[in-house]
């Protein structure tokens, strides 16, 4: 009996503007109108400034923790630009640029990291889910949202973002399996930034690409240069088209890099080589886009200087709005989990005592549990 291949495939990598400034005219010309490229660049600069300020807020004790987005701005921004307002953005925690492009007020993200649940109260109609900190959980929500869109026939898509590390979670595979087998309009957008805290991608995935994980579910899969906003926009537009016309999901692996620590609770110098970091600094998506704009006479140093001033004022105002909000009573945090609060939480809220240490909050004296 001859042995014959039953399945052969390959994974393509898409780059339009590479790290040396080379631009693929065939794929890239007219993809994004010049004025929009300027707007995207301006947005990146403003988001980068927010990152810097949020880091300082954490270091000065005004914020609990913060995950820097630096270096990864082109991914979620390119996707948010390519999608429509009716499409869902189902993110984890490193997608500020895309969320702000969609219209999420910056102070909500600041409040979230300041530990204020009001940061998770997303304005109605924005079609954005709250930041998801438990790794992988949001992909299932995206599959559900895609399913709901298909059921209603509203032509919407759910685009979910997650890291390379998240693709090792069971939830990821369940979400992918459902989306593929039920023909759902979902885009799975993996930000492969080389690290899951201190675990390098090569330890989490022994295949040469993460993109090929989607092949097992019969999905279209592509790898893109995640620091090239043109490539991201094209890949997401193609995926959106497939989702809207054929109700098929797509898996996109965007290769990028986090230039900062995992969060402010981390120190990447303990596990990451300087050389690797220096190499990726040269691939910074902002520098690349600035080079493209400069080469076309669309930007210059004086525009940059006034943008910098604008960014500072913009972020200072957002920080002010987050800081000015009136503090809530401490019992308030009980109210954010359930629509109808279970009796044990009601009891804890009214007595401000806990039974989590095996004590009966009715009889334990307050000093023992404080």
Ligand X SMILES: Cc1ncc(C[n+]2csc(CCOP(=O)(O)OP(=O)(O)O)c2C)c(N)n1
Q: Does 119 bind Mg ion (CB under 5 A)?
A: no
The residue among 96 and 193 lying less far from ligand X, judged by its C-beta, is 193
As measured in angstroms, the least distance from the Cβ of 169 to ligand X is: 7
Q: Strand pairing of 158-163 and 220-225?
A: unpaired
Coil, strand, or helix at residue 359?
A: coil
For residue 188, the minimal CB distance to ligand X (Å) is: 13
- Subset of residues 143 to 182 that bind ligand X, contact rule: CB under 6 A: 162-166
Q: Return the structure tokens found at 17.
A: 């503007």
Q: Which residues pair with 248 in a beta bridge?
A: none
Smallest CA-to-CA distance from 99 within 141, 161, 184 is with: 161
Place of tokens 């999420």: 104
β-strand pairing of 250-255 with 220-225: parallel
- Secondary structure of residue 195 in the 3-state scheme: strand
Catalytic residues: 258, 262, 271
| Residue 166 interface partner, choices Mg ion, ligand X, none, CB cut-off 5-8 Å depending on type | ligand X
Q: Phi/psi zone of residue 15: left (φ > 0), alpha (ψ -120 to 50 degrees), beta?
A: beta
Neighbour-count burial of 170, counting CB atoms closer than 10 A to its CB (0-12 exposed, 13-18 middle, 19+ buried): exposed
| Smaller CB separation from ligand X, 94 or 150 | 94
Q: Which of 23, 41, 195, 257 binds ligand X (CB under 6 A)?
A: 195
- Give whichever of 37 and 128 is closer to ligand X, judged by the CB atom: 128
Residue 262 site contact among Mg ion, ligand X, none (CB < 5 to 8 Å, cut-off depends on kind): ligand X
Among 19, 164, 225, 261, binds Mg ion (CB under 5 A): 164
Q: How far apart are CA 128 and CA 184, in angstroms?
A: 18
Among 96, 129, 143, 191, binds ligand X (CB under 6 A): 191
- Rounded to a whole number of angstroms, the minimum distance from the CB of residue 210 to ligand X is 10
Which residues are at the interface with ligand X (CB under 6 A)?
A: 94, 133-135, 162-166, 191, 193, 195-197, 262
Which residues are at the interface with Mg ion (CB under 5 A)?
A: 163-164, 193, 196
């Amino acid at each position: 009996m001859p042995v014959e291949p039953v399945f052969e495939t390959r994974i393509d990598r898409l780059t339009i503007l590479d790290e040396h400034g080379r631009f693929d005219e065939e794929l890239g010309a007219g993809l994004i109108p010049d004025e929009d490229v300027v707007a995207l660049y301006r947005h990146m600069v403003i988001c980068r400034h927010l990152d810097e300020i949020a880091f300082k807020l954490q270091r000065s004790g005004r914020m609990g923790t913060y995950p820097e987005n630096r270096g990864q701005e082109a991914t979620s921004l390119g996707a948010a630009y390519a999608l429509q307002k009716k499409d869902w953005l189902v993110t984890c925690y490193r997608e500020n640029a895309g969320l702000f492009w969609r219209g999420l007020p910056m102070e909500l993200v600041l409040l979230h990291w300041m530990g204020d649940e009001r940061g998770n109260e997303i304005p109605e109609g924005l079609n954005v889910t709250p930041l998801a900190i438990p790794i992988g959980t949001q992909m299932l929500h995206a599959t559900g949202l895609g399913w709901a869109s298909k059921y209603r026939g509203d032509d919407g898509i759910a685009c979910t973002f997650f890291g390379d590390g998240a693709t090792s979670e069971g939830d990821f595979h369940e979400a992918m399996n459902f989306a593929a087998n039920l023909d759902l309009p979902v885009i799975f957008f993996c930000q492969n930034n080389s690290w899951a805290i201190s675990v390098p991608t090569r330890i989490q995935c022994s295949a040469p690409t993460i993109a090929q994980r989607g092949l097992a579910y019969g999905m279209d899969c592509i790898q893109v240069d995640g620091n090239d906003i043109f490539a991201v926009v094209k890949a997401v537009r193609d995926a959106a088209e497939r989702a809207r016309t054929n109700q098929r999901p797509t898996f996109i692996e965007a290769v990028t890099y986090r230039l900062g620590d995992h969060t402010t609770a981390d120190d990447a110098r303990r596990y990451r080589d300087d050389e690797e970091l220096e190499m990726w600094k040269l691939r910074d998506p902002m520098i690349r886009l600035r080079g493209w704009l400069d080469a076309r006479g669309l930007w210059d140093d004086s525009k940059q200087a006034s943008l910098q001033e604008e960014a500072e004022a913009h972020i200072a105002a957002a920080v002010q709005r987050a800081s000015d909000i009136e503090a809530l009573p401490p019992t308030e945090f009980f109210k954010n989990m359930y629509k109808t609060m279970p009796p044990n939480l009601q009891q804890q809220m009214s007595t401000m005592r806990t039974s989590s240490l095996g004590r009966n909050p009715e009889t334990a004296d307050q000093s023992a549990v404080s």
